[in-house]
């Protein structure tokens, strides 16, 4: 006799740094019958996901597919397939995920040079230009949307600079794909990866990636095998290509879910989706500032899908988060690294990016702060939204 009860997780409103809320149609897709990973019907799902991801990434890259694994698997797949021991790599760091990119590159045996900015600030073009003049780099990596800080990194000028120096340009788009403008081909991005659990509003478990022809050529010119068998794209691309050579058993249900999530994006329209995220972000900022709170990032660098709000002096930030979770079933995130204890990270991603959630959060936050003796003008946030 089992001592375990039937699994019945609470219904949360996910407004943290991820995962985000999942659309009912995506949940429905997850429950569809499983077929074999080489079944003709699943092969069509694979083809759909490739073309839908090309739409989301705004690319014609033929190697565009979801890696079986979370967003960090996408990061690792990009680096292990390109970087060989002794290669010079330039990594830009202004938060946790730039640090992770550096770590993975070093594990590949790269000689890593870093360009750094304070957490909450963007990397300057001039910083990268100065670094590029020091030596020839095989690859330059940067985070488009730094989840740990809420910074949206401008990319266009940096991409031009990187390409002018003959390096490949790698971009982390885990918290930007499907939520803010991202144009892989137009901007000149060679390698880009993301995750399903952020603005795509799909459960975590797949990592969309895309490789340019230049990146593929570099991969095929390797002198040694890729150090990771599981993430070796020279084999994975044959499974996703016309050959259909068995590599691993793909997560069938997750690919169903990703397909439905991407269909929802196609139905809404990419530009409309980007505008929805921006509009709800602006509403949140108006409400936060009306309450007398401050955003942690300057306006020109703010990431619409992940908002860093400064914790007022004297407030127990963890107690606020616990209050929101226990009383409103509402999740927001804590700060990481240099921002630990200093900010709340508020996600407005995908299905969760709506004005109803913005109003709920502001109302709940007003109550939570009041319990800690921080008085804000009652209804000020709501008035700022309606004004």
Q: Which of 238, 267, 296 is the last residue of a domain?
A: 267
C-alpha 371/C-alpha 375 separation (Å) is: 9
Same domain for 278 and 262?
Answer: no
Q: Answer whether residue 56 is part of any domain.
A: yes
Neighbour count for residue 258 (Cβ, 10 Å): 26
Give me the CATH number covering residue 156: 3.40.640.10
Q: Please tell me whether residues 79 and 173 are part of one structural domain.
A: yes
In a domain, residue 16? The reply is no
Domain membership flag for residue 158: yes
Q: What is the pLDDT of residue 1?
A: 65
**2 is a domain residue:** no
* Contact of 109 with 86, CB cutoff 8 Å: yes
pTM reported for the whole predicted model: 0.96
49 and 62 belong to one structural domain: yes
Instruction: Examine the domain organization and report whether 225 and 203 are in the same domain.
Output: yes
Beta strand residue intervals within 9-124, DSSP E: 13-14, 63-68, 88-93, 111-116
Please report whether residue 6 resides in a domain: no
Per-residue model confidence as pLDDT tens digits over 235-248? 999 999 999 999 99
pLDDT digits (tens, 9 = 90+) for 22-51: 999 999 999 999 999 999 999 999 999 999
Kindly state whether residues 185 and 235 are assigned to the same domain.
Answer: yes
Q: What is the DSSP string of 268-279?
A: H-HHHHHHHHHH
Strands (E), 235-324: 306-310
53 and 113, same domain (yes or no): yes
For residue 253, the enclosing domain spans: 24-267
- Burial pattern 27-64, b for ≥16 Cβ within 10 A else e, equals eebeeeeeeebeeeebeebbebbbebbbebbbbebbbb
Helix (H) or strand (E) holding 4: none
Q: 274 and 135, same structural domain?
A: no
As for how many domains the chain has, the answer is: 2
- 324-354: pLDDT as tens digits: 999 999 999 999 999 999 999 999 999 999 9
Both 212 and 303 in one domain: the answer is: no
Same domain, residue pair 230 and 362? no
In a domain, 81, yes or no: yes
Instruction: Flag whether 112 is in a domain.
Output: yes
Q: Is 329 left (phi over 0), alpha (psi -120 to 50) or beta?
A: left
pLDDT at 169: 98
What is the reported pLDDT for 325? 98
Mark whether 216 and 343 lie in a shared domain: no
- Domain boundary pick from 219, 242, 267: 267
Q: Are residues 292 and 187 in the same domain?
A: no
Give pLDDT, residue 375: 81
Residue 13 covered by a domain: no
Of 215, 249, 267, the residue that ends a domain is: 267
Residue ranges for the chain with pLDDT beneath 70? 1, 387
Q: CATH number for the domain including 314? A: 3.90.1150.10
Residues 334 and 200 in one domain: no
């Amino acid at each position: 006799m089992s001592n375990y009860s039937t699994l019945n997780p609470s219904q949360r409103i996910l407004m943290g740094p991820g995962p985000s809320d999942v659309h009912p149609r995506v949940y429905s897709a997850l429950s569809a019958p499983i077929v074999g990973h080489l079944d003709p019907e699943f092969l069509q799902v694979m083809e759909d996901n490739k073309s839908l991801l090309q739409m989301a990434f705004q690319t014609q890259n033929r190697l565009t597919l979801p890696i079986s694994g979370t967003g960090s698997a996408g990061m690792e797949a990009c680096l292990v397939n390109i970087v060989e021991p002794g290669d010079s790599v330039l990594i830009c760091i202004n938060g946790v995920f730039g640090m992770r990119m550096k770590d993975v590159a070093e594990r590949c045996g790269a000689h890593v040079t870093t360009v750094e900015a304070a957490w909450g600030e963007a990397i300057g073009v001039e910083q990268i230009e100065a670094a590029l003049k020091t030596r020839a780099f095989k690859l330059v990596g940067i985070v488009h949307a730094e989840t740990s800080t809420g910074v949206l990194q401008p990319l266009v000028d940096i991409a031009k600079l990187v390409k002018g120096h003959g390096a490949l340009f790698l971009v982390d788009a885990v918290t930007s794909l499907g939520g803010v403008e991202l144009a892989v081909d137009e901007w000149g991005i060679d390698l880009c990866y993301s995750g399903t659990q952020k603005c795509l509003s799909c459960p975590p478990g797949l990592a969309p990636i895309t490789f340019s022809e230049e990146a593929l050529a570099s991969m095929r010119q390797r002198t040694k095998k890729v150090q990771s068998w599981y993430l070796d794209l020279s084999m994975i691309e044959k499974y996703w290509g016309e050959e259909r050579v068995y590599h691993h058993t793909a997560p069938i249900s997750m690919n169903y879910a990703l397909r439905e999530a991407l269909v929802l994006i196609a139905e809404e329209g990419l530009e409309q989706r980007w505008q929805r995220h921006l509009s709800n972000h602006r509403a949140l900022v108006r409400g936060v500032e009306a309450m007398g709170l401050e955003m942690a990032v300057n306006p020109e660098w703010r990431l619409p899908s992940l908002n860093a709000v400064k914790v007022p002096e004297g407030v127990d930030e963890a107690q606020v988060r616990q209050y929101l979770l226990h009383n409103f079933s509402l999740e927001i995130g804590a700060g990481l690294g240099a921002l630990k204890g200093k900010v709340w990270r508020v996600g407005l991603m995908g299905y969760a990016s709506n004005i109803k959630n913005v109003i709920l959060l502001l109302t709940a936050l007003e109550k939570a702060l009041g319990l800690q003796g921080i008085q804000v003008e009652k209804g000020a946030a709501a008035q700022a939204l309606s004004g």
